[in-house]
A and B are shown apart, each in its own frame.
Chain A
């Protein structure tokens, strides 16, 4: 319960409600506990003595207790909701803010899909838990203890029955929880397996059809489905014992109380009303025990959610502004790597970049070439300080990027990422994402540069066309060009295209490069590419292999000096 307790700090602003709710619930429980007692009074005192005023008086008292109890109950409902909703909103907000503060390295480790689950499902789980804690978690134990006390109070001799009944119910419930827990975990596993079959079948539908493997797929599915069904049946059948067993114990207890009570009534040491009241308390006690044990199970599930949330809070942003970092920054755009070594995980991990040094002068276009995994993307990600170097330093205009405020740095260094993510909204909104105050003329100019203007204008709504979530109605190449326009609109000193033209056809790409070369004199362009045609015109080409720069120079020079470069060139250009 450690993680859950850690999250309790978010309840602090709502502590008055969090205290009030259980108190009011206590009121309701106490009032509820009075009711059987009152019935007993009517039977034993009113009816036995023929005291009509007492009967009516007691009945009115019952109405009063019921009303007070209802006030307690509704009050608890209100305050527990206020506390839980406030808690949930604050927790969600803090978690979201925390995610915003994290750097790329943290995000890599936490994974997008799992982060989304944490912010949505897990927070809801914990929020529901808080509400339950304030309501049932108070009610059930209170009812349990209260009924037990009232039962003993009603008849100490009959109460001896509890010595047998409570351990019995506990034993049954605990046995069932222990037995069913692994069964349900297995159900979950098999459900996951079935989901995988379905997902792959949908994603790979063309392959399935092309190889005529429908029958094979059906076989796979049937097997997974059959296994899930068997497990579901087993689990449900074990669970089927729960209610009948507990009810049997309970009812046997009632019968026993009836018989023992009957004996005592005959002996004159007990009244009938006491039997009625006692059996009432007995039922409540045993039911509450069952409830408490179920809730404990529920708690452990929420704890898992709380742990996942806490893990995010515990992540320390890897990239943080140094005190006194430069907030005003208008560089000319000279980018220099000085003996940079970099690795994604801990210090002992295999470096992704090894002792890399180069200089991109203002106005130069530098292309990075190399096979997948050579370290091209990692290299350019160090310039806007998405990650920090392990050794050496990266400077812009001679200033270490770690001495510059993150926001100030990124305003000057714009990057179009490999996977172009667009946000829901219009194309215009997406292009001016980095500068929401940009004028329409600026947006159009950027789009024209990025060779996006023509296709944007071919849409009926032009720049006001809505982009679906993650830009579904645009082709890959179109999305990439919008992402480039977005980067261009920042009018950065350093522009980085991280393989961001891979889906753009060669013709358009060539036009784009020509446009970029003339767009802003003095801007430094860094272009990561896999196609050799992309890099031919660069002032400087860096060939990366296994984290090291193995060749460096212009196309003409590299053709002469670098066998690797020539090999790449020839394989792609077929000379």
Chain B
């Protein structure tokens, strides 16, 4: 909602009625249906239920709502009085020449108009606040609820989709609340009111007007509307296709150039562009007809009232004032009909948006604290997996009967090919996911019996792809422990070997990191993550070593820092570095979701099993025997490794 003022300026009001009165929220183009009217509409599945839930939020603003309803009703009534008073002014005062009476009536009209403006302003003013507060409340609830959801939810939903729910969908609800609802109330009231007043003023002229103007209007909008809707659907499709091509090409522009495919890409683009032009032309021409056709209906209505009214006036069945009043009422009569039709679609799509919002809110927090969950304060660091089985998707087991035992302070290296299940072990220990069978214990206590927050507070996690938030370096390290002082943060950075490079940054610890921290190298980001973990001072560590090595110096710093961090803590390391593995107290070799070998570096090498071959291929030089250094176990002819290792 960048600027509501310029939302619906398809064209000017279809010849503003002679004495047009204030119309709440109608905007300058309030007359003709905007192009949005004809856009394909999504339909809500359960409008009643959704509305009831929305009411739960709206109820908090009920004072504002009650006021608005009364204000809208009052405004609509006053607006009906305008043309009536005009007719009276002409018939009773101007034509007879009663100037004193005219002054009184003008004073009365001025009062009416002043009241209309005042009420309109108050109601817009109050409704704006009420709508925004409601939006903010829904947003807060939605975001808070998302924080309780399990990782599984975030894995399954595209981030763009979740973002759009929090922004567009919620915003859409606000638009409808602030404008459409009041418009709807006003439209219905003025429709009924206008009909009543016209009938009371002159039922003959009223019947002529009511039979012709609205009928023509309905016919035209129907006729044009159907064609336009189909056109817009096609246009939307063509636009989606073209945007897809643009996005893909520009994203891969360097590849396009590297392979000299510019001409081919242009040809593909041109086809889609032509199609968009064709569909767009069709849709826009038909929607462009709406304005002139509405104008036509209005003008015809004017002609009918003037002609028929004039005829009646001569026959003594109507007065000049009545004709003047009718000219206004006729327009007030046609307009709400249109508004109701267009509002129906707007409200439908807002409800559909609200449904998506509530759908997220209804998502159960997958992993939640057990009723009897106990706190966990200080851990010794004993970790056991007892016969743990797990699958992300039903029927696709990722871990099969895994058992392991780590004594306090031990370093456990997890080794194995990509996709073997190493990361899953980490995901389970942190309770990002819950296991299907078996038991995971810390200090002998089932982790499902521990408060999740306490559990995670005792676990320090350094992931391979370090995520940094926008903010200063200081804030990013402090993420590990929010109440840490500046001195503590700096001390942690020192231990993590991050202090020297931080000091070289333009503003030291106060350097702002841009989104995704493009201004730091991968190695530097890892050092920050280590500092974060040091600051958090967890009892148990989970480390995921980076696969591709960073430059030599940073690499050394990282290794040193990691060793410092692991000291005295039970550590699980998804290991890629030989030094880590060799120094580990236990190596668990994982393949296809099972621990197939376990032991220390030496015992495993001596076994000459899976680990031995893994070691040969990954940590010894390449396959053609250019090994420079002496190594006790000389490379024997390599055997092909199991397929699971490839990529």
Contacts and interface: CB of A to CB of B under 8 A. Distances in A.
Interface string A281-303: 00110011011001101100000
B99 interface: yes
Interface string B528-540: 0000100010000
Given A66-B296, A184-B2, A85 B280 contact: yes
A571 B556 CA distance: 7
B273 A242 contact: no
A451 B453 contact: no
Interface string A444-477: 0000000100110000000000000110000101
A328 interface: no
A572 interface: yes
Given A203-B159, A216-B482, A371-B552, A434 B259 contact: yes
Interface stretch (B141-149, B378-386, B489-497): B141-149
Interface string B495-529: 00000000000000000000110000111000000
B66 interface: no
Contact of B128 (A240, A290, A555): A240
Contacts of B302: 35, 39, 62, 66
A301 to B, nearest CB: 8
A82 B280 CA distance: 9
A132 interface: yes
A125 to B, nearest CB: 12
B291 A283 contact: no
B619 A574 contact: yes
B551 A371 contact: yes
B232 to A, nearest CB: 13
Interface stretch (B87-95, B196-204, B335-343, B399-407): B87-95
Contact of B470 (A43, A67, A200): A200
Contacts of B414: none
Contacts of A195: 163, 167
Nearest to B288: A77
B295 A96 contact: no
Contact of B552 (A115, A451, A555, A571): A571
B445 interface: no
A434 B299 contact: no
B132 A417 contact: no
B16 A284 contact: yes
A295 B463 CA distance: 52
Contacts of A76: 288, 292
B621 A573 contact: yes
A12 B248 CA distance: 31
A423 B248 contact: yes
Contact of B277 (A74, A85, A410): A85
Q: Max chain A CB contacts within 10 Å: which of B120, B463, B577?
A: B120
B12 interface: yes
Interface string A239-254: 1111111011011101
Contact of A62 (B159, B178, B306, B515): B306
A128 to B, nearest CB: 9
Given A78-B285, A505-B418, A574-B579, A225 B140 contact: yes
A153 B21 CA distance: 25
Q: Max chain A CB contacts within 10 Å: which of B128, B306, B432?
A: B306
Contact of B547 (A42, A74, A503): A503
Q: Max chain A CB contacts within 10 Å: which of B135, B270, B457, B552?
A: B552
Interface string A189-217: 00100111011111111111111111011
B113 A252 contact: yes
Interface residues of A, number: 194
A120 B246 CA distance: 8
Contacts of B249: 96
Contacts of A187: 2
Contacts of A510: 617, 622-623
Interface string B15-48: 1111111111111100000000000000000000
A116 B245 CA distance: 10
Q: Max chain A CB contacts within 10 Å: which of B20, B21, B550, B556?
A: B20
A53 to B, nearest CB: 11
Contact of B646 (A80, A104, A455): A455
Contact of B306 (A38, A226, A236, A240): A38
B311 A477 contact: no
A339 to B, nearest CB: 26
A60 B303 CA distance: 7
Interface in A472-489: 475, 477-478, 481, 486
Contacts of A116: 246-247, 250-251
B603 interface: no
Given A62-B306, A283-B17, A573-B619, A112 B250 contact: yes
Nearest to B118: A244
Contacts of A507: 617-618, 641, 645-646
A506 B417 CA distance: 10
Contacts of A58: 306-307, 310
B51 interface: no
B163 to A, nearest CB: 6
A156 interface: no
B368 interface: no
B18 A279 contact: yes
Interface string B98-142: 010011001001100110111011001100110011011001100
B299 A236 contact: no
B467 A204 contact: yes
Nearest to A249: B117
A93 B577 CA distance: 51
A283 B16 contact: yes
Contact of A417 (B99, B254, B549): B254
B21 A279 contact: no
Contacts of A504: 647
Contact of A287 (B12, B291, B547): B12
A262 B647 contact: no
A451 B417 CA distance: 17
Q: Max chain A CB contacts within 10 Å: which of B5, B178, B280?
A: B5
Contacts of A248: 22, 113-114, 117
Interface stretch (A44-52, A157-165, A348-356, A390-398): A44-52
Contacts of B604: none
Interface in A50-106: 50, 52, 55-56, 58-60, 62-63, 65-67, 69-70, 72-74, 76-78, 80-82, 84-86, 88-89, 92-93, 96-97, 99-101, 103-104
Nearest to B102: A262
A426 to B, nearest CB: 15
Interface string A411-443: 100110100011110000000011010000000
A514 interface: yes
Contacts of A373: 521
A372 B327 contact: no
Contact of A244 (B2, B121, B289, B619): B121
Q: Max chain B CB contacts within 10 Å: which of A272, A275, A507?
A: A507
Contacts of A266: 94, 97, 99
B80 interface: no
Contacts of B582: 574
B252 A65 contact: no
A547 interface: no
Contacts of B311: 52, 55-56
B211 interface: no
B110 A255 contact: yes
Contacts of B266: 96-97, 100
Interface in B554-607: 554-556, 577-579, 582
A22 interface: no
A47 B317 CA distance: 12
Given A96-B249, A202-B159, 13 more contacts: A66-B296, A78-B288, A198-B162, A198-B167, A199-B163, A201-B147, A202-B154, A240-B128, A272-B95, A283-B20, A297-B6, A410-B257, A478-B647
Give me the 8 closest cross-chain CB pairs, A-B, nearest first: A73-B292, A371-B551, A59-B307, A77-B288, A66-B299, A62-B303, A236-B128, A240-B124
